[in-house]
Copies of this chain bind each other. A is one copy, B any other.
Amino acid sequence: MSPIRELPIFLMGVGGVGQAVLRQILEHRDLHAFEYGIRYRFIGLADSVGAVLAPETGLDDGRLQEVLALKADGRPLTEHPLGVPHSGDLCPVLEGIHVAGTVVVDCTASRRTIPALLAAHARGYAIVLANKKPLTEDLEVYHRLTRVDGTGHSPRLLDRVRWETTVGAGVPVITTLHRILASGDTVHRIQGMFSGTLGYIMTELEKERPFSQVVREAYELGYTEPDPRDDLGGMDVARKALILARDMGWDMDLWDLDVENLYPPEMDRLSVDAFLASIERLDQRWADRVGGALAQGKVLRYVAELADGQVHIGVRAVPKDSPLGQLTGSDNLVAFHTRWYRPHPLVLRGRGAGVEATAAGVLSDIVEVLGP
């Protein structure tokens, strides 16, 4: 029987995904100890204002339950018995803990974690990202975190950094792309539907319902971000597509992507309520588009397409019986068209969001980053 390895974890971000990671680890402690010989030890947790640290002993289950109770109430970590405030820069916090073999897990949605991630990476810590920002802002940060630095190798699969859940949550989109690249196969084209919200909206439009009604319904059901324009503008999809592009070695930035916004830019100035109240004026245009597609036996899908070094993101009319057309509702889908996967692509589909599926993907990444 191999010895159990203690696995020190520093978790940044204790929102929905971060809490689910904590809950799932508490639930699966025995599985991980028995099956993988791993015992997770939380040496630190941080939210946007505070941190709870125990670099020497790790936080026991009672302390972790206190954190979960606190965050369920929407309260900051500074109110935890061991809580200390921080300035927003996590570098000094990380500086205070030196534990070899630490895995730093970023479950925030903030660019403020970037300096701490770079420091952790430089120190040789493993990194697991659910946060898209560090990979989609400055190209140099992407290169430094993923070691694609232009002067040497880009070991990807060989490196101790994982970011599977940044695209498609637990659907292994990134793992599959990295395996394709590692084999030397040539990627001709990637097509993806990476927004559950836009997937839902497109499916409902197909039923010839008014755009305004569908968007308001999605908003009321909580399927959209608090400001539905964050979904309708396509930036979330753009960040996911940019990660795939950069992983293929395309040195691009967000502004290099061609992204279709589902509402006119002048509506950006409105409040959320005013926006929702005024979207009827888009209904006729959408009805025409949907009708035009249906007349050709096609349906509309919001698709990210990567080919020939370019990324186009927007509404496409696709055949109803194509892999993209067959996908209805909020599931995500990705189709890899490669030298060995043609004419039929390699296709993955499944729930592409949700805190539990995302947290499960983070746990897989943590186990994987330990490596053989």
Tell me the A residues contacting B by CB distance below 8 Å.
1-2, 24, 27-28, 31-32, 34-37, 126, 151-160, 164, 170-172, 175-176, 179-185, 326, 329, 331, 339-341, 344-351, 354, 356-357, 360-361, 363-364, 367-372
3 tightest CB-CB pairs across the interface, nearest first?
Answer: A28-B184, A371-B371, A346-B350
- Given A170-B340, A363-B184, A152:B351 Cβ within 8 A: no
Q: Which of A180, A344, A345 has the most CB of B within 10 A?
A: A344
A126: B residues at CB distance < 8 A: 372
Q: Report the bound CA distance from A31 to B153 in whole Å.
A: 10
Name 12 extra pairs, CB < 8 A, besides A2-B152, A345-B350: A24-B183, A159-B372, A172-B175, A172-B176, A179-B368, A183-B363, A184-B363, A326-B326, A346-B351, A347-B348, A369-B372, A371-B371
- Given A158-B372, A360-B340, A184:B27 Cβ within 8 A: yes
Q: Are A357 and B341 in contact (CB under 8 A)?
A: yes
A170: B residues at CB distance < 8 A: 179, 183, 185, 340-341, 346
A34: B residues at CB distance < 8 A: 153
Give min CB distance, A22 to chain B, whole Å: 13
Q: Report the bound CA distance from A259 to B204 in whole Å.
A: 41
Q: Report the bound CA distance from A339 to B154 in whole Å.
A: 35
Give min CB distance, A35 to chain B, whole Å: 5
Q: Are B372 and A153 in contact (CB under 8 A)?
A: no
Q: Are B36 and A158 in contact (CB under 8 A)?
A: yes
A175: B residues at CB distance < 8 A: 172, 175-176, 179
Q: Report the bound CA distance from A284 to B181 in whole Å.
A: 48
Give min CB distance, A214 to chain B, whole Å: 20
Q: Are A360 and B184 in contact (CB under 8 A)?
A: yes
A185: B residues at CB distance < 8 A: 170, 360
When the two chains form the complex, which single residue of B172, B184, B346 contacts A179, counting CB atoms closer than 8 Å?
Answer: B172
A181: B residues at CB distance < 8 A: 35
A180: B residues at CB distance < 8 A: 360, 364
A31: B residues at CB distance < 8 A: 184
A158: B residues at CB distance < 8 A: 36-37, 367, 370-372
Q: Which of A156, A158, A159 has the most CB of B within 10 A?
A: A158
A24: B residues at CB distance < 8 A: 183-184
Q: Are A350 and B344 in contact (CB under 8 A)?
A: yes
Q: Are A331 and B344 in contact (CB under 8 A)?
A: yes
Q: Are B331 and A179 in contact (CB under 8 A)?
A: no
